[in-house]
Structure 1
Amino acid sequence: MQTAEQQQLQQQQLQQQQLLQQQLQQQQLLQQQLQQQLQQQQQQQQQLQQQQLQQQQLQQQQLQQQLQQQVQQQQLQQQQLQQQLQQQLQQQ
């Protein structure tokens, strides 16, 4: 036979165990939430990196366009110079 004291002790232990289990479940939930947040942050980082890459590509395209324009201008100037030269030669 169990004494009243023993019964009380057993009940207390049971309650403590239940409490511990609840805490464990809460911690597991928290961990899941944290993992989800981590995944979201990683996704955001990937998106940011993609955006940065796109911006870099755009910048490169712009630079190429500028370079092409410069080349075209130089070609024009050269043509003009040649024409002037020819005119001078003809005048002589």
Structure 2
Amino acid sequence: MYEEYRAGAERVILECHERNPAVFERAQRLSERAERLFRSGTPSESASNRAVRAREDALEALFELRASFSAGIPEKARIFDEEARRIYPFLELPGFGP
């Protein structure tokens, strides 16, 4: 059963990415840029702010998808979170809750 949940979560997350690639690609690109600037010793507040806003947009899309996928079943929500973290490590996904 859990493997079915995991496969289902991966499928719906990747389908969401296919429908909205710009949202996730922008979040990744801006997060990487902000991190590069920080590591190079020239952190940019504006780059960091843009990265945060882009990650929030991606998280919003995932949060809506999570709610419909889990249908109130905590185990499905937990597995969705794990898969989302695996697929999008740059998003720094919080636990969405129960």
TM-score, length-scaled by structure 2 = 0.27
TM-score (norm: length of structure 1): 0.29
Task: State the structure with bigger RCO (CA 8 A, min sep 6), 1 or 2.
Answer: 2
